[in-house]
Structure 1
Amino acid sequence: MFEGEPTKTEASVIESFQTPNDAKDSNGILLIPQPTNDPEDPLNWPSWRKRIVLVQVSLISFLSLFSASLIVPTFVPLGKYLHKDLTDVAYVVSIFTAIISISPLVWNPISNVYGRRPVYIVNLIATVAFSAASAASHDYGTLLAMRALCGLLGTAALGLGPATVCDLFFAHERGRYMGVYTLSFITGGHIAPIIGGYIEKNLTWRWCFYVPAIIAAALLISFILTVPETLYSRTLDQSTKSQPGSVQKILMLRRAAPSNRLRPIDFLRPFQMLLYPSVVVPTVYYATSFGYGTILFILTSTNIFSQLYHLQPYQVGVLLGIPLTVGSVIGECCAGYLSDLVSERRAIHRGGKRIPEDRFLAIYPGAILLPLGVAIEGVCITHKTHWIGPAMGVAIASFGLQIVTTIIYAYIADCYKPQSAEIGAVLNFTRQIFSFCVGFYAIQTGQMIGFQDAWIIWACINVATFLPVIILVWKGERWRRALGTPKFHNDL
C-alpha cells in the first residue's frame, strides 16, 4: 500500500459513505480524507462555517499563551508586592507553562468521546474563574496555585486545536489552516508583553489577570452561540442515529462519538505515539525550537533588558513583543501556504501520490534562521549593542520558529490524522516541559559563561535536534510502512 493512501479501516469507511464518484481536489488528486455524503460531516460544511470555527478555536488558543505572558513585563512591581526576587516571580509564568503540558493529556481523550465542543466550553469557564482568582490573590502561594489551576483546566486548546483543524480540512489544506492556528497560539505569547507593560503602567498588575478573564467570558458566549461539534465518526451511519435537538446540543446531553467509551488507557495514548519516528523526531526538534525560539526570550527579557538598557516594564514589553510578533506574522506568510503548495506540486509530479515528507522541503529556511536569531541576540547582549541588535535577533528567531511550527504540525497530522488529538497532546507536553526547564538555567548559565556562549550553545542544540529530521525526509515513508498505523481512533 502506498503511503498517503487510505488504510483498510479507512477504505471500509469510504466504501460505506463515499459520494458517487471519489472526491478529488481541483488538481484531480484524491481528497484525504474522503468526505461522506452526510451534510453534517464537517468536511462538507461550507467554507465560511469552517472558518468561523477555525477563528474561534484559534482565539481560544491565542488566549492560552496570552494569559500566561501578559504578566511578564510587570515582574518588577509584582516582585515588590509579593516581596520576591525576579527569579521567584518568574515562577508565576513557569508554573503555568509546566502545568499546561498536562492539560491536553487530560482533556483530549475526553474530547474523543464527548466531543470537542464541551471541552472548549468547560475550559473557557475555568479560564474566567481562575484568571479572576489570580487577580484577586494577595500572597505568592495563592497566586501560584491559581495559575496552576488555570493552566490545568483552561488550556486544552493548545493540544486540541490541531485535532479540530483536522476535523474540518482536507490534507491539501492543512498547512494553510494549521498555520492560522499555530500563528494564533504563538503570537498570544508575543503580543502579551506589549499589552502587559501598558496595563501595569496605567492600571495595576492585577489587570494582567482580569483582562484574560474578560476576554474568555466574551469568547465563551460567542463559542456557545456559533460553534457546533466538529468530532465526526466515519464508521457510523449518521442517518440512522437520532439527531439531538438544539437544547440538547447547547446543554451537551449526548456523546459526540456514541460508539466510544472512555478508558484509562486513552490517557496514555499520546505517549504511545512516541513509538513512531514520524512523531518522536519532529516532537523533539520542535521542543528545542519553541523553548529557544520564544520562551528563552520571554523568560529572560525583563532581567536582561531592564539591566542592560534601563527600561521600564512597558518598554521591555514593547522591545520583546514587537520583534516576536512581526517575525511570526512574516514567517507564517512563508510557512503554511508554501508547504501546501510544495506538497501539492510534488503529488502532481508523482501522479497523485501524497507523501507527508514533501512538506519538509519548506522547513529549511526556518531551521536556519531560528538558531541564527538566537545566536545574534546572545552576541548583541554580550557586546552591549544598541537595543535594535537583540530585537533583530528575536525577530529572526521568531520568523524561523513560525515556519518550523506550522510545517511540523501539518506534517504529523498528514502522517496520522485519526490520532491528531494524541499528537497535539504530546507536542504540547514536550514543548511545555522543555520550556519550563529553560527558566531554571537560561539566566544562570548566561551569567556564568557569558550570554554569547550560552545562547550559541542553545542554538547548536537546536541544530543538533534538526539533523534527525533530515534523515526522516529520506526514511520516513519506509519507516511508516514497516511500523504500520496505530490501531485506535481509525473511525475519526
Structure 2
Amino acid sequence: MDDTKPNSEVMSAEYAGSEKAATNQQSVATKTHKDIVLVPQPTDDPHDPLNWSTPRKLLVLFIVSFAGFSGMLQAVGNVSSIFQQGALYHKTPVEITYSISAATAGLCAGPLFWAPAAQKFGRTGCILWAMVFTILCTVWAAVSTSPGNYESFVISRLFGCIFGSAATCLGASFITNVFFLHQRGKCFSFYSVMVLLGTLAGPTFSGFIVGQGESWTVEYWYNVGLEGFVVLLIFFFMEETGYSRPGRPEYPERSPTFSGRAIDAYLFRKPSVPLGRTWSDIGKLAIVPFRIGLHPVGMLGGIFILVVFGWSVGVNNLLAVFVQSPVEAGGYGFTPTANAYFTFSAWLGCIVGNLYGLFAADKLPLWVCKRGGGVWKPEYRLHALWLPTFFGLPVGLGLFGAALQYHLHWIVAAIGNFMLNFSSNVAVPVIVNYEVECFTKYPVEAATIMNFYRTLFGLAIPFFIDPWLAAVGVGWVFGMMSFFSIGAFMLVIVLMVWGSTIRHKVRSSIMSTEEGTKIIDANASHLDVEAH
C-alpha cells in the first residue's frame, strides 16, 4: 500500500484485559492513512486481503450482502397474498402468517448451524450450496398449490430460510477480514441494510404481483431466478478472505487458478479455514454464540436489538393485516397493490437509515474518539444510536399506532412506518458492529447470536398480537411498544457509560477487542475517513 507511512504510539488490536498490557504494546511501528492508524495492521504481501484494491473489496461486500438480501427476500415473499392463500388453504389471514413465523424461525436457527459449519467447510462453499438448497425450497413453496398443502408450504418456508440465512451471518467475517476498523461502520451499515431490505422488498413485490391478478406462486418463481443469479455471482466472483498473519491461525495456500480455487472452495477439497481444526474444535465453536449471548455485553446489546427490531419485524410481517383489513374492521381497506405502494415508506426509511449509517457509523465514533484523545473504545460506536433509536423509534411507533387507533389519514401511518424502519435499520448494524468489535476473534459467532436476538421476538409476535390488541386496543399496543423501546435504549446507555468496565470485570477467554489502540492523532487538523 503505497499511501501508508510509518508512525508510532500504537498498540496491537488484541484485548489484553488491562490498560497496562495495552500500554506495553504501544511502541510498535505502524502504518497510517491520513492521520488514521490502520487497524488491523496490513502486511507487505499484496495477497493480504487488507491490501486488495477498493473495487475488489467492495465486490466481495456486495456479493455477500446481495446473497443475504435474496435469502431474506424469499422469507417474506407471500406477505401480501395472505388473503388469497387463506382462501386456497381454508385458513385465516393470521394462520397464513404462521408461514412467515416459520420462515422467521429458519432465519433465527439457521445461523446457529452455519457459523460452525463454515469453520470446517469454508464460508463461500457454505453460502453457495446453501443458496442452491434455498432454490429447491423456493420451488417447493411454489408448487404447494393444493388445498391440503398448507403444512407442506409452511415446512418449505422453514427449511428455505434455514438455508437462506447462511449469508446473513457469515458476511461479518468478510468485513473484518478485508476492511480496517475506521471503515467497518459503513460496511456493516451497507451489509445489514441490504439484508434487512429483503424483508421490505418481499412484501412490495408480493403486493404488485397479487395486485395485478397474478397467481401468488409467481412470488416464489421470480425468487428462483434471482437466487440462481446469486449462485452464479458467488461461483464466479466470490473470494475467500482467510489469511495467515503473524500470531494468527495459518490458512491453506490458495490455488493460483480459478478452477483450482473453485474446486477447493465449492467441493470442499481445501476450504479456507484454519489448518488443523478438528471436529472437537468445531463443537467448541458451536457454543461460542451462546457464550457471547450470555456475556453481559452480549446480553445487553442483544436484548436491546430484540426489543427494537422485534417491533419492526412484527409490523412488517402483519402490515397486510393492518392495512388490507376493511375500514369497519379498523384497517384501511387497501388492495394488495395499494399495500405494495405503502411499503415504499419502509423502503425509504431503510434507505435513509443506510445513508445515515454511511455518514455517521464511522465518522461519529471517530469524532468522539478524537475528542477523547484518539484512543479507541468499541463503545464509541453506540453514540450513533441517539437520534434514530432514542427519538425516532418511539415517535414512529406512536404515529403508526395513533393512525390505526383514530383512523387518521394513511400518510400518518406511512410517516410512522418510515421512522420505525429508519430507526431499526440503523440500530442493527451499529449493535452488530459493536459486538463484533468486542469479540474480534469470533465475528461470525457474534453476528450469529445478534441475529438470533434480532429475530426471536419477531417470531413470537404473530402468536400473541391478537390477544394483546383485544386486551388494550391498537393504540395502546403501539404506545406500549414505544415505551418499551425507550426502556431498551437504557441498556445501550449502560454500555456507553460502563461497557468498558463490564468487559474488564467480566473477563472471558472468547473476548478480544481493539480497545486502547491509538487510532487517530488528537491534534490533527482534520479527520478524513475515506476508504483506504
TM-score of the superposed pair, with normalisation by structure 1: 0.91
Corresponding residue of 1:440: 463
Residue-pair matches, total? 477
Corresponding residue of 2:31: 23
2:276 to 251, 256, 259: 259
Deviations 1:27-63 (A, max 9, x none): 2x43222222333322111110010011111111111
Corresponding residue of 1:110: 117
Corresponding residue of 2:528: none
Letter in 1 for 2:233: S
Corresponding residue of 1:234: 245
CA contact (8 A) 2:73 2:198 kept: yes
Q: Tell me the secondary structure at the aligned position of residue 441 of structure 1.
A: helix
Letter in 2 for 1:211: Y
Query: What displacement does 1:239 show?
Result: 10
Q: Within 5 A, what are the aligned runs for 1:378-393?
A: 378-393=401-416
Q: Within 5 A, what are the aligned runs for 1:240-279?
A: 242-244=253-255, 245-251=257-263, 252=265, 253-256=269-272, 257-262=274-279, 263-279=282-298
Corresponding residue of 1:123: 130
Corresponding residue of 1:468: 491
Query: What displacement does 1:236 show?
Result: 7.2
Q: Tell me the secondary structure at the aligned position of residue 44 of structure 2.
A: coil
Q: Tell me the secondary structure at the aligned position of residue 31 of structure 2.
A: coil
What is the alpha-carbon distance in structure 2 between the residues aligned to residue 440 and residue 242 of structure 1? 50
Query: What displacement does 1:159 show?
Result: 1.5
CA contact (8 A) 2:72 2:161 kept: no
Letter in 2 for 1:343: P
Query: What displacement does 1:451 show?
Result: 0.2
CA contact (8 A) 2:124 2:238 kept: yes
Corresponding residue of 1:214: 225
Corresponding residue of 1:17: none
Q: Are 1:291 and 2:310 an aligned pair?
A: yes
TM-score of the superposed pair, with normalisation by structure 2: 0.85
CA contact (8 A) 2:15 2:512 kept: no
Q: Tell me the secondary structure at the aligned position of residue 40 of structure 1.
A: coil
Letter in 2 for 1:274: G
What is the alpha-carbon distance in structure 2 between the residues aligned to residue 3 and residue 480 of structure 1? 18
CA contact (8 A) 1:4 1:354 kept: no
Q: Within 5 A, what are the aligned runs for 1:46-445?
A: 46-138=53-145, 139-202=149-212, 203-235=214-246, 242-244=253-255, 245-251=257-263, 252=265, 253-256=269-272, 257-262=274-279, 263-292=282-311, 294-307=312-325, 308-319=331-342, 321-367=343-389, 368-445=391-468
Query: What displacement does 1:127 show?
Result: 1.4
Query: What displacement does 1:3 show?
Result: 9.8
Letter in 2 for 1:152: I
Q: Tell me the secondary structure at the aligned position of residue 43 of structure 2.
A: coil
Letter in 1 for 2:43: T
CA contact (8 A) 1:4 1:355 kept: no
Corresponding residue of 2:521: none
Report the aligned-residue RMSD. 2.4
2:42 to 24, 30, 35: 35
Q: Tell me the secondary structure at the aligned position of residue 418 of structure 1.
A: coil
Query: What displacement does 1:412 show?
Result: 1.6
CA contact (8 A) 1:193 1:318 kept: no
Query: What displacement does 1:277 show?
Result: 2.5
Deviations 1:280-311 (A, max 9, x none): 2111101111111x212222222221122211
Larger helix share, 1 or 2 = 1
Letter in 2 for 1:248: G
What is the alpha-carbon distance in structure 1 between the residues aligned to residue 368 and residue 386 of structure 2? 17
Corresponding residue of 1:477: 500
Change (3 A) 1:279 1:238: closer
Query: What displacement does 1:347 show?
Result: 2.9
Query: Between the two proteins, what is the percent identity of the paired residues?
Result: 22
